[in-house]
Structure 1
Amino acid sequence: MAELGLNEHHQNEVINYMRFARSKRGLRLKTVDSCFQDLKDSRLVDETFTVDEVTEMLDGLQVVVHGEVESELINTTHTNVLLLRQLFFQAEKWHLKLQTDISELENRELLEQVAEFEKSEFKSSNKANTESIKPKLAPLNEGGSAELLNKEISRLNEENEKLKARLKTIETQATSALDEKVKLERTLKELQKIQGDYKVPHNTQEINNLEKTVAALKSDFERTLNDSTANKKSLEEDLVSTKHNLLKVQEQLDMAEKELERKFQQTAAYRNMKDILTKKNDQIKDLRKQLLKYEPED
């Protein structure tokens, strides 16, 4: 805002308070006017008065007006205290400490700026008398540990999705390797059976060809087994690394949860965040159980 340097939301809050203050001020001025009118109606009935009578009437009027003005000033002070109380309560809810500069309350330049702002906002009497519904104070945006925790939760969700995809890929590769191994073992058994049942032929060339075929099949089988073993070892190393990363993330999450419990104890935000962390720990435990299936046997 150009006049007071506030944003639009806070400008509206200031306008609502100024409208309230103008309404209260108008009522109090009417009360003061009524004091003078009562004096006119009740005492000014004669054409002439003595000095003592005039002094008595003015003294009485002074007492009444003094009491009205004093009451209004006291009420204004108490109203301002209630307004500050609302702001401080909201700040304390989010562990903030607000500060005020009392010397700025007597800054003539700022006071004139506020007066000009009031004139520009309440040009017509209709606008000044329009009542508006005062909204409740909106909560401040989350920050600090809560914001960091939300970012950590989002990061863990992404990490979980990546781990699930990787686990699915690993399971597919492992299943394919096992199927290939079973096929090769079945083929080898069939060849061994054929070799055992096969009668020695009279043609030496056929025997040599058969022996070469069996040797080639054995070589392919051994190479496939070696590749499967290497792949299994690589997968096991990846699983171990993933497990360590998960443990590290779990440790960081536990530290963040403890920090959050210290700062947000006995608050709704604390309970909500704790529920989220509990669900996240359960997901990590399920993932660890799935990963343990692929750890090497002792």
Structure 2
Amino acid sequence: SADLIKPKLAPLNEGGSELLNKTVACLQEENEKLKTRLKTIETQATAALDEKSKLEKSLKDLQMIQGDQKTNANQDITELENKVAALKCQFEKTLSDSTANQKFLEENLVTTKHDLLKVQDQLSTAEKELEKKFQQTAAYRNMKEILAKKNEQIKDLRKKLSK
């Protein structure tokens, strides 16, 4: 193995060192560009996250408002339904009362008509009785006799005038 001679690296000359320095400088420049780009992307990501948070908050607020509006609309509908039901109930009661009142008035009218007929009948009977009693009085009989005599006298006078 003594025959094998290990090749040794030849010392670098100025050209290789310069190449390495250029490569290092180039890599550092690229590293700075990447750092700048990373900062820009981080800033954009932070801004996007902030915007996302704002949008999520806005969405939550909007959903709450819509929920409140929906609740308010449901409450309004319920109130209107209750008012309509109350008005319907009141109308039915008024209609029922009106019907009952009409029935009462019709019955009252019939009763009043019957009472009127009774009173008229009683009045007629009373007039007849009064007439009968008056005819039975002496003054009536005397007047009747006087009228009968006068009628006879008028007949006699007419007979005399006609001859």
TM-score under structure 1 length normalisation: 0.31
Aligned to 1:84: 57
Helix, strand or coil: the match of 1:171?
helix
Give the structure, 1 or 2, with the largest relative contact order (CA under 8 Å, sep 6 or more): 1
Correspondence 1:190 to 2:117: yes
Distance verdict in 2 for CA 1:188–1:149, change over 3 Å: same
Aligned to 2:38: 65
Distance verdict in 2 for CA 1:72–1:151, change over 3 Å: same
Distance verdict in 2 for CA 1:90–1:197, change over 3 Å: same
1:35-71 per-position Cα deviation (integer Å, ceiling 9, x unaligned): xxxxxxxxxxxx9743223222222232223322322
Report the Cα distance in structure 1 between the residues aligned to 2:120 and 2:23, rounded to whole angstroms.
145
Distance verdict in 2 for CA 1:159–1:57, change over 3 Å: closer
Matches within 5 A, 1:17-32: none
Report the Cα distance in structure 2 between the residues aligned to 1:168 and 1:80, rounded to whole angstroms.
62
User: Could you tell me how far 1:193 is from its partner in structure 2?
Assistant: 1.8
Report the Cα distance in structure 2 between the residues aligned to 1:72 and 1:183, rounded to whole angstroms.
95
For structure 1, the 5+ residue unaligned runs are: 1-46, 94-138, 201-298
User: Could you tell me how far 1:74 is from its partner in structure 2?
Assistant: 2.0
User: Could you tell me how far 1:171 is from its partner in structure 2?
Assistant: 0.8
Matches within 5 A, 1:176-187: 176-187=103-114
Matches within 5 A, 1:206-285: none
Report the Cα distance in structure 2 between the residues aligned to 1:50 and 1:152, rounded to whole angstroms.
81
**One-letter amino acid of the counterpart of residue 60, structure 1:** K
Correspondence 1:174 to 2:106: no
1:122-171 per-position Cα deviation (integer Å, ceiling 9, x unaligned): xxxxxxxxxxxxxxxxx22633x765554343223212211211111111
Report the Cα distance in structure 2 between the residues aligned to 1:197 and 1:53, rounded to whole angstroms.
143
Which is richer in helix? 2
Aligned to 1:162: 89
Matches within 5 A, 1:107-186: 139-140=66-67, 142-143=70-71, 147-148=74-75, 150-186=77-113
Helix, strand or coil: the match of 2:67?
coil
User: Could you tell me how far 1:194 is from its partner in structure 2?
Assistant: 2.0
Report the Cα distance in structure 1 between the residues aligned to 2:41 and 2:81, rounded to whole angstroms.
60
| Amino-acid identity (%) | 12
Report the Cα distance in structure 1 between the residues aligned to 2:98 and 2:74, rounded to whole angstroms.
36
**One-letter amino acid of the counterpart of residue 117, structure 2:** E
Distance verdict in 2 for CA 1:50–1:162, change over 3 Å: closer
Correspondence 1:52 to 2:30: no
1:16-35 per-position Cα deviation (integer Å, ceiling 9, x unaligned): xxxxxxxxxxxxxxxxxxxx
- The alignment yields a C-alpha RMSD, in angstroms, of 2.9
TM-score under structure 2 length normalisation: 0.51
| Greater radius of gyration (CA) | 2
1:100-129 per-position Cα deviation (integer Å, ceiling 9, x unaligned): xxxxxxxxxxxxxxxxxxxxxxxxxxxxxx
Helix, strand or coil: the match of 1:140?
helix
Distance verdict in 2 for CA 1:72–1:191, change over 3 Å: same
